[in-house]
Structures are given as structure tokens and as C-alpha cells.
Amino acid sequence: MRVQVAIIGAGPAGLLLGQLLHRAGIDAVILEQRSAEYVLGRIRAGVLEEGTVELLARAGVGARLRAEALVHPGVGIAFGGARLSIDLHALTGKSMYVYGQTEITRDLMDARAAAGARTIYEAEGVSVHGFDGSRPAVRWVKDGKPRELECEFIAGCDGYHGACRASVPGTTIRTYEREYPFGWLGILSDTPPVDREIFYASHERGFALCSMRSTTRSRCYVQVPLTDRVEDWSDERFWEELRRRIDPDAAAKIVTGPSIEKSIAPLRSFVAEPMRFGRLFLAGDAAHIVPPTGAKGLNLAASDVHYLSEGLINWYRSGSASGTPSASRGG
């Protein structure tokens, strides 16, 4: 099998890149180690910046988002028993959009299926080869049989634990990492959001965040020591702790209910540079991890994909003559 671009990973970065390349007439295959159901079932980010929304529209998957997303003109910060609202729209002309990553993934998967673009799920043992030359290849095992794909470029969209960054010679990459001495305990619940605006709380007991996925689904977090386990936190204890950390008006209004997902995320910052190794490019979590505030990981991944897709599209449009893909502008 031969293809122009092999994309490793069907997370938001890989699926969005696949869609942008497909619309530009570039042949790309996505290889994903998990099943489509598993990828869709992951509960992750849900706040989109304006640039991400524009990119999704350019990728042809903006219609449901525009119709269903909650538009937020700003955010709040609670501290000292009061709340400060910051009207980002008035200050910058831009808003934030609440639309779950699950929905973006579904829209991108549906668009890919409608276009007949190839995604190979449950590809085991994916390995990347020859990216320092002009003929890279990707190998994997599917249904017990070894497979190989020749390509012109490899996009490593395979997340922090993926195979692509791990394949780069250690002498060619620098990494910077910081692990924070606490984690975020997060719950998802089918209860109305604590407030209409997303707000962050600074409190001596620790940080808290009241966010949402829809008008009927809350996403809230409290900072906890890394030694805590999810089993230590009943839903009642979580709501009680959240009430203590936010402003009294909001605390009085909280509607509590059972969690439908509860987990503790350790917080880490990680950056790898460069993001290009010959014909292998890293994008999204494969190249950098940030603490989950404001869905920055998802929005950064979209930004990476913008530049990478522009670079590849320019390269193919110029008849592959300029030698190296490079993006022309930001977004």
C-alpha cells in the first residue's frame, strides 16, 4: 500500500489533519491502535477557542458545532469570597465555545466515513521507518498479520505515549518537563452547570473549576494531593469540597447529583522540540502536554494541525518542488 501522508493516531489531531488533507485532495491514511468505539468513549476536553472553531469549519465539520455549542463571552475568577467576571468578547472580539471533544470526534469520524477516507483501527505495534530519507514507511500488525505502508510524510498525532516521538534519535530531540505536586479530581454529572459562566476558583484549600458540557451536564474539578485515590472521594465529599472553594452565591445555587465519570488527573507540562524530524512531524500531545485548563491541549493540537496541514498543502500544490513543507501563516 502507498499513500501520500500516513497519520498515526485518531485523536482530535489526527482526525482533523486527515479531514483538512482530504479536502485538499491529499491522500492520507490514519492508523489507530484502539477501536473507534474506544476513541469515541474517551471523556476529554470541551472548550474551544475561536481559532479552533474556524479550523473545524474549514474542515467542513462546523455545522453541528455552530448549532449546538454554548457560546461563552467570558470566564469568571472566584477569590476571597467574591467573583470577578472577565468579558473576553468585549476585550478581544472573540468568544469561547463549549462543545465536547466526543462530539468533535464524532463529527470528524462521520465526515471521514462519508468521504470514504481510510482509517485503520486496532493497528497493533505501529512503527515508523525511514523518515530521515525520502521514502518513509509505517509497519503494524492487523488481525495477526504484518502490514506495511509506504508514504511521503508521517504525521505523529499519537499522543504523549505514542510511537512516533519515541522513534526519534535521542540526540535530535530536546524535552522539557515539569510535574506538579498535585492533581485534579474531576467529575462529570448530569446536573445543570453551577453557573452560566465557566469560572475558576483560587482558595487556600486549593484550586477549583466549574465548567460544563451542556446546559444539563456539569464538568467540575477540585485540586487534590497526588496521594489521594478516586475511592477516597464520594460524590457527596466532592460537592462539599467544591462548595467550600467557590463564592458563596454560587455555592448556594449548586445542584448536586451522582457522577457519571470521576477521575484524578496528575498535572504535567511537557514540551519537545523540534517538532519535525526529516519527513516525520509531531502534532498535538505527541509534542506537548499542558495542564487541562481551558482545554489548552485540544486547542494547541488544532493549532499544530493548522500549521502542519498548511505546510503539506503548500508543498503538494507547489509540485513538491520547494523541498520542505512550511506553513505560511498562523490561525
Please select the residue that binds ligand APR; options are 18, 136, 156, 284, rule is CB under 6 A. 284
By C-beta, is 13 or 250 nearer to ligand APR? 13
CB of 303 to ligand APR, least distance (A): 11
Report the nearest approach of ligand APR to the CB of residue 78 (Å). 25
Give yes or no for a contact between 81 and 130, defined as CB atoms under 8 angstroms apart: no
Q: Which stretch binds ligand APR (CB under 6 A): 6-14, 86-94, 131-139, 177-185?
A: 6-14
297 counts as binding ligand APR under rule CB under 6 A: yes
Q: 497493533: which residue's cell?
A: 124
Q: Is 155 helix (H, G, I), strand (E, B) or coil?
A: strand
Q: Which of 7, 298, 308, 312 binds ligand APR (CB under 6 A)?
A: 298
Helices within the chain (DSSP H only): 12-23, 36-41, 50-58, 63-68, 88-92, 101-115, 163-166, 235-245, 248-253, 296-317
Q: How far is the CB of 230 from ligand APR (least distance, A)?
A: 19
- The yes or no reply on residue 33 touching ligand APR (CB under 6 A) is yes
The β-bridge relationship of strands 218-225 and 288-289 is: unpaired
Residue 9 cell numbers, joined: 493516531
Any contact of residue 162 with ligand APR (CB under 6 A)? Answer: yes
Q: How many residues bind ligand APR (CB under 6 A)?
A: 28
- Contact status: 185 vs ligand APR (CB under 6 A): no
Single-letter code of the amino acid located at 305: V
Out of 19, 52, 101, 214, point to the residue binding ligand APR (CB under 6 A): 101
Kindly report whether the peptide bond that precedes residue 274 is cis, defined as omega within 30 degrees of 0.
Answer: yes
Nearest to 261 by CA among 238, 244, 293: 238
Contacts with ligand APR by CB under 6 A lie at 8-14, 31-34, 39, 44-45, 101, 123, 126, 157-159, 161-163, 284-285, 297-298, 301
